[in-house]
Structure 1
Amino acid sequence: MQIPTNAFYDRATRSMRGLTVQADSLQTQISTGKKLSTPSQNTAAYQRLATLKQASADSDAYGTNLGLAGSLLSSADTTLGAMRDQLQRASELTLQARNGTQNDSSRKAIADELDQIVESLAALGNTRDPRGQPLFGGVDGGAAVTKVAGGYSFASTTLTAIPIGDAQSVQATEPAARVFAAGGTDILSALTDFSSALKAGGDIDAAATTALDDIAASSEQVDTIQASLGARAARVDLEQSQQKSAETDREVIRSSLEDTDIATAITQLQKTMTILSATQASFSKLSSLTLFNYIK
């Protein structure tokens, strides 16, 4: 029987070439840590990786927004807490002022402290957020609280909600008009009016009663807003936790698709090199046999 010499050489060459390519691929996977270097290696895996990459990019953007929302919510809560303390002090001073033991001089001192509270509340209302924007101001960046003839004006524009997820957003604070004008009561003007009544002297009982009602309404409004912001902060925390969990899941999938299992790759490389060496040795031995010099 005639041995097909050309076929023998072709099969041997193809086998060694394939083993060499496989060895080179495994060496690349080991050195780079990646088992995919071109889309042609696994089109479906590359498409899946592209989807995961886009999802991670979106998550990063939402993560930044979540951080901003959390910061704004925290700042708003702290500021409202300081306002609540000022209102509590104003209530104490009002009760003190209506005490029958007070005289015009002591009431004048109380009025002066109430004026300071009004200034403090206005300053708190104009607090700037971490970006330098008014925390309770409008979208135009203008002051949240402005003193005008006859009282105060407050920013009333609804603040822009911050996107924190697909079809999800959160409003991280409230406009000054909602904070300071509870039920039509402008607490800054109300306290200013009561201070003026104290300075004027005479019977202040009716003025004190009105002031206490206004302070109570304003305090309740601040409490309501704080509770709402607290619920939003809890939602932001939950969304951050869910996004971290989703990112962890994406990383597991990405790694399974893209990363090299070094131990497995080394084992495969060793087997491939052993087979390649044996094939090369066999080919060299057979091709040198004298018989091949005569077979046509």
Structure 2
Amino acid sequence: MQVSTRLFYDRASAAMGALSAQADTLQTQIATGKKLAVASDDSVAYARLRGVAQASADAKASGTNLDLAASVLAQADSTLTAMTAQLQQASELAIQARSGTQDKVSLGALADGIDAIRDQLADLGNAVDPRGLPLFGGGDGGAAVTANADGSYSYAATSPSAIPVGGGQSVQPSDTAHRVFTSAAGDALAMLTRLSAALRAGTDVDAAAASAVGDLATATTQVSTVQASLGARAAHVELAQAALTRANTDREATRSGLEDTDVTAAITQLQKTMTVLSATQASFTKLQGLSLFDYLK
């Protein structure tokens, strides 16, 4: 009889303890919104969560770099558009110079306009990107366009720093000033300097302006070619951003399935557990109060 009584108490205590522990766990899951607190809760799921967390961290870095690449490419595109507008304006001034009706004062004004366009183009070439690096300069951070003492210009010929975007890939977000400003017609800024000098001299203006119109058309085509190349890279970056967004969505769904509490299901399970626990406690209390005389009645 002593053994039976002890077993009765032990079993009842173990059952109520297990139910209480289960209720505590469910309450914690509901309060925190997390199913897993420690690795022992589910070692397989915990290991998968660590992998998901690492992948998320890598994706965040890739996303930041893709956003940077997109920003630099957009800036390069708008800068090249501005350059094209300046070259077209220079071509219009060259055409005006060929009219044959310009006097020396007018030609001087046109030359001033050409000089202003040349200087504006040089300034555009020396723009800096969001990283503080020359937009069309080399990876060493040196100036993209340098005016030399003799009036000529030097251009950065090494590519700007590439931006890593994950998976061992990188994106070249711009191009060199050398490729932007030089073409089959030669150096665009030097060409403008020659045109300005010819207009100020007032000799053989028609020939100089005619040559400049053709050369400026070639220079404009070169800028457009560079812009098209950057546009293709921008499209690649957009595709990579879209793919990353989809991967992030799928990964978040996986993480949520492994880690997040289904609150509705947890509350339902908690209510069931509390009902069973209450019934077990009530039964234990009732049986505990019975005596031998109760059995003999």
- TM-score tier, shorter chain, comes to over 0.9
For residues 109 and 20 of structure 1, the distance between their equivalents in structure 2, rounded to whole angstroms, comes to 93
Structure 2 segments unaligned to the other structure (5+ residues): none
Match of 2:117 in 1: 117
Kindly indicate whether residue 168 of structure 2 is the aligned counterpart of residue 161 of structure 1.
no
For residues 245 and 199 of structure 1, the distance between their equivalents in structure 2, rounded to whole angstroms, comes to 61
**Do the aligned partners of 2:181 and 2:187 also contact (CA within 8 Å) in 1?**
yes
Deviation at 1:250, TM superposition (A): 1.2
Match of 1:69 in 2: 69
Deviation at 1:143, TM superposition (A): 1.3
**Do the aligned partners of 2:83 and 2:124 also contact (CA within 8 Å) in 1?**
yes
TM-score by length of 1: 0.93
Match of 1:133 in 2: 133
| Structure 1 ranges of 4+ moved more than 6 A | none
1:140-219 matches, within 5 Å, as 140-150=140-150, 151-183=152-184, 185-219=186-220
Counterpart residue identity of residue 5, structure 1: T
SS at match of 1:153: strand
Match of 2:89 in 1: 89
For residues 233 and 275 of structure 2, the distance between their equivalents in structure 1, rounded to whole angstroms, comes to 63
Match of 1:274 in 2: 275
Deviation at 1:2, TM superposition (A): 9.6
Match of 1:37 in 2: 37
Deviation at 1:149, TM superposition (A): 3.1
For residues 207 and 291 of structure 1, the distance between their equivalents in structure 2, rounded to whole angstroms, comes to 126
Kindly indicate whether residue 241 of structure 2 is the aligned counterpart of residue 240 of structure 1.
yes
**Do the aligned partners of 2:135 and 2:160 also contact (CA within 8 Å) in 1?**
no
Match of 2:231 in 1: 230
**Do the aligned partners of 1:90 and 1:117 also contact (CA within 8 Å) in 2?**
yes
Deviation at 1:241, TM superposition (A): 1.8
- Report the count of equivalent residues: 294
Deviation at 1:192, TM superposition (A): 0.2
**Do the aligned partners of 1:158 and 1:174 also contact (CA within 8 Å) in 2?**
yes
Q: Deviations over 1:196-254 (max 9, x none)?
A: 11211222333223322321121011101111111212222222222122111111111
Counterpart residue identity of residue 153, structure 1: S
Counterpart residue identity of residue 31, structure 2: S
Kindly indicate whether residue 222 of structure 2 is the aligned counterpart of residue 221 of structure 1.
yes
> Percent identical across equivalent pairs?
59
Match of 1:23 in 2: 23
TM-score by length of 2: 0.93
Counterpart residue identity of residue 65, structure 2: N
Deviates more, 1:8-17 or 1:248-257: 8-17
Q: Deviations over 1:79-124 (max 9, x none)?
A: 1111100100111111111222233332222111111111111111
Judged with a 3 Å threshold, the aligned counterparts in structure 2 of structure 1 residues 155 and 292 are, in CA distance, closer, same or farther, namely farther
**Do the aligned partners of 1:91 and 1:215 also contact (CA within 8 Å) in 2?**
yes
Superposed CA RMSD in Å reads: 2.0
Judged with a 3 Å threshold, the aligned counterparts in structure 2 of structure 1 residues 149 and 213 are, in CA distance, closer, same or farther, namely farther
For residues 87 and 2 of structure 1, the distance between their equivalents in structure 2, rounded to whole angstroms, comes to 106
SS at match of 1:4: helix
Deviation at 1:195, TM superposition (A): 1.1
Deviation at 1:67, TM superposition (A): 1.4
For residues 97 and 31 of structure 1, the distance between their equivalents in structure 2, rounded to whole angstroms, comes to 80
**Do the aligned partners of 1:5 and 1:292 also contact (CA within 8 Å) in 2?**
no
SS at match of 2:227: helix
Q: Deviations over 1:37-63 (max 9, x none)?
A: 111010111111111111111111111
